Chain A
Amino acid sequence: MSLHGRDVISIRDLSREEIESLLDAGRKMIPFAEGTKVTRPLENKIVAMAFFEPSTRTRLSFESAVQRLGGSCLTIADAGATSMRKGESLYDTIRMLSSYADAIVIRHPNEGSARLAARASDRPVLNAGDGAGQHPTQTLLDLATMREAFGTLTGLRVVLLGDLKYGRTVHSLAYALALFGSEIVLSSPEGLRFPDERRVELKQLGARLTDQPDVHQAVRDADVLYVTRIQKERFGDEAEYRKVAGSYRIDAAVLARAKSRLIVMHPLPRAGEIAPEVDRTPHAAYFRQAFLAVPVRMALLNAVLGPAKRGG
């Protein structure tokens, strides 16, 4: 099925084949994302960036993607500067915005807000993060990073490390890894374990799922170490936070036991989970991951909004 004109709210909205075709298209977008080649399939198209919550990487990489494709952006970067401050509903705000733009990229603090936006808008809506809910383009660029490093998404052993309870990126990523048949190793502090209902869903997809709270053990046979930020606000007291956060610091000593081809990923921003010394090792993939946000988002924008393919 073609993605043209469709909403992308959750990674579950995409089939395995659609994800693969987006990753292929994303790879071809790399020289355009770097600026060494020029393409303008979104010429005369306007994409609204409706960001009701702070974001650096996601908004800027989406804006870069639109502009690299020859389109232009309308940006709400501060919800306080909109009529929502006067009590306007999100529904009305999006309804209005959809008459000013050809597509809407939304980030909002409430879960389910992107689904609501998709109902309010008669233009395609792309979810750039709804509270603790979904963030499908993050998953796409995570997958692109792994596929670039290994040439496949099948049969990898991927360690998900950190806050596996509240971290939205790991829930979507785990789903996608299960879809592609990679093994998932869950490594988290006791209070931040991967939720049971998510485990049930992954097992229904036939996922191979194991728990290994000891990061040293977990890293040993891994192909990918996906580190997430431990959010300070989840802890009642500072000392408890420090204890947990300290146990998840990835440094050269932890990586000494790893396979040479292991890559370390992180959705960024990091808050001390990865020591700067790791940046200088061949394991560090997080800045490449941040760059791949642009070509992957270009591929998605082009699929949704670019010229419709014949027969597609």
Chain B
Amino acid sequence: MRELKITPIKNGTVIDHIGNGMALEVLRILDVRSLDKDSTVSVAIHVRSGKLGWKDIVKVENMELSPRNVNAIALIAPTATISIIRDFKVREKRTVDLPPQIVGILRCPNPNCISNQPEPLESEFDVLERRPVVLSCAFCERRVDDFLEHLA
């Protein structure tokens, strides 16, 4: 972090160790356009990393992630770490962890799946494998391993 030309944030969230090139997808999940206009969002792409070789970093001021956002990040950036910053200090740091079920985050890629019909339900996937992540639709059993295209 010491070499980065990104201003420290007083309060907010730092998402570090994002796989190289995935920062913009993380921003999409966070829906940063909806943040209040006084918040700064910093993005570093293609940063040298001891652990990963190269990584991306996202810092968002005045935002703490919802469980839904954490689960979505776990899907597309399983190596990410999340630090909660309060008063310029790291108050909490954790790795993302995929829950056994992913609810309401992805659309089923099967157009004929009942979850894509106007029914009172949320999409739901079971985690079949973790490395690499493979999901299975809880309704139609379709396997999914390509999440970017199917984020709801």
- A contact residues vs B (CB 8 Å cutoff): 10, 89-92, 108-113, 115-116, 119, 130-134, 197
Contacts and interface: CB of A to CB of B under 8 A. Distances in A.
Contacts of A112: 108, 110, 113-115, 137-141
Interface string B104-124: 000010101111011111000
Contacts of B138: 112, 115
Contacts of A108: 114
A91 B137 contact: no
A134 B118 contact: no
Contact of A110 (B112, B141, B143): B112
B122 to A, nearest CB: 11
A130 B120 CA distance: 18
Contact of B119 (A10, A116, A134): A116
Contacts of B142: 111
A124 B2 CA distance: 61
A233 B119 CA distance: 28
Contacts of A119: 121
Nearest to B138: A115
A252 to B, nearest CB: 39
Task: Specify the main secondary structure of chain A where it touches its partner.
Answer: mixed
Contact of B121 (A10, A91, A111, A131): A91
B126 to A, nearest CB: 11
B141 A116 contact: no
Contacts of A113: 114, 139
Given A115-B114, A116-B115, 20 more contacts: A89-B118, A89-B120, A91-B120, A108-B114, A109-B112, A110-B113, A110-B114, A111-B112, A111-B114, A112-B108, A112-B138, A112-B139, A113-B139, A116-B119, A130-B114, A130-B140, A132-B112, A133-B141, A134-B141, A197-B143
A229 to B, nearest CB: 19
Contacts of A89: 118-120
Contact of A111 (B110, B119, B143): B110
B120 A111 contact: no
Which of A92, A108, A113 neighbours the largest number of chain B CB atoms within 10 Å of its CB?
A113
B71 to A, nearest CB: 21
A136 B36 CA distance: 52
Interface string B136-152: 01111111000000000
A116 B121 contact: yes
Closest 5 pairs between A and B when the two form their complex, measured CB to CB: A112-B139, A111-B140, A112-B140, A112-B114, A110-B114
Contacts of A130: 114, 140
B141 to A, nearest CB: 7
Contacts of A132: 112
Contacts of A134: 141
A84 to B, nearest CB: 11
B136 to A, nearest CB: 10
Nearest to A171: B141
Contacts of B110: 111-112
B139 A116 contact: yes
Nearest to A108: B114
Contact of B140 (A92, A133, A197): A133
Contacts of B119: 89-91, 116
A109 B112 CA distance: 8
Contacts of A109: 112
A248 to B, nearest CB: 25
Which of A10, A91, A110, A112 neighbours the largest number of chain B CB atoms within 10 Å of its CB?
A112
Nearest to B128: A201
A91 B121 CA distance: 9
Which of A89, A91, A116 neighbours the largest number of chain B CB atoms within 10 Å of its CB?
A116
